[in-house]
Amino acid sequence: MNALWIAQVGAVLRLELKKTFLSRRGWWIYLLALGPVGLTLIHWLFEAGHPGGRHSLGDDVTAFAALFLLYYLRAGIFFGCMGIFSNLFRGEMLERTLHYYFLTPLRREILVVGKYLAGLTVALAVFVTSVVLSFLFIGRHFGAAYSDYIWHGPGLSQLGWYALVAALACVGYGAVFLMCGLLFKNPMIAAAVVWVWEGINPFLPTLLKKISVIFYLKSLCPVQVPVPPPFSIMVIDAEATPAWVAVPGLLAVAAILLIYSAISARQAEINYGE
């Protein structure tokens, strides 16, 4: 990539960041991120009034693991990335402004990369921050014991893994939904199909489990969440993918989807009448 392309990517990134961060359509995405932060903050303040504690620190650790898997990965980050990335191109189509980009001496691949980086920056800033704050809040009512758990126990390592998994989720789902927004007139239908596939992942055969993002993200989570009955009898166990395979694998899949989106953008035509 030469200096001109880098400068053009930077220009698109700066322009898209202003539009994405300040988008009136994206207010609900911030609510998705603020929800668990508010919930864990309320938990901290409410439990602070009970010095003896009504549950153990281990209960809070398990509760956060469940919150991260069931809310962040399966709902919050998924739908947040859908709202951010699918609108990068489809939103421009609805607002009839995409042709301004296409009329400039700018390669379509550069436009795709710039828009993706802008969406990724917003997603990381919103959801990784939310994950970190929620983790710090949920056990804060234990006071010095929680500080010791973070600084002298496994807490800091767990926080790092949760932040990494959240970032990888933004990378992976961002590439998926950027492609959906570019290729489909109604990306919500494609998003619904992906959501159902990701949701039934625990019940799929081992081979099919690996054709998903959530399988690799779940493998990287530092605390595993037990599946309660009766669902536990329907879950098909599969060996977790080691980090040295899962992390490069997710990045490679995101890169492939991004390259495909860039190639597809070359043939993209504007028809505001659709």
The pLDDT tens digits for 81-90 are 998 998 888 7
Cis amide linkage into residue 230, ω under 30° from 0: yes
Dihedral angle over CA of 94, 98, 100, 104, nearest 10: 180
Residue 38 confidence (pLDDT) above 90: yes
Q: Judge whether 211 and 67 are in contact, CB under 8 Å.
A: no
pLDDT-derived band at 233, boundaries 50, 70, 90: very low
Please name the residues in contact with 183: beta carbons below 8 A apart, sequence gap of 6 or more. 190, 261, 264
pLDDT of residue 50: 63
Lowest mean pLDDT among 84-98, 126-140, 162-176, 220-234: 220-234
Task: Yes or no: say if 17 and 121 are a contact pair by the CB < 8 Å rule.
Answer: yes
Mean pLDDT value across residues 44-52: 72
Q: Pick the more confident residue, 188 or 32.
A: 32
Task: Using pLDDT thresholds of 50, 70 and 90, give the confidence band for residue 42.
Answer: very high
Residue bearing the bigger pLDDT, 245 or 185: 245
Distances (CA, A) of 202 to 30, 84, 158, 243: 29, 27, 23, 19
Which of 32, 20, 186, 214 minimizes the C-alpha distance to 117? Answer: 20
pLDDT on residue 127: 96
The span from the CA of 181 to the CA of 183, in Å, is 6
Q: When comparing pLDDT for 102 and 49, which is higher? A: 102
pLDDT-wise least confident of 49-63, 176-190, 229-243, 248-262: 229-243
Burial of 167 (0-12, 13-18, 19+ CB in 10 A): middle
**pLDDT tens digits for 95-142?**
777 767 777 777 888 888 989 999 999 999 999 999 999 999 999 988
**Distance set, CA 60 to CA 41, 136, 137, 138 (Å):** 13, 11, 10, 7
What pTM was computed for the model? Answer: 0.89
Mean pLDDT value of segment 62-68: 93
Tokens of 11: 């220009």
**Cα 44 to chain center, whole Å?**
25
Is the per-residue pLDDT at 200 higher than 90? no
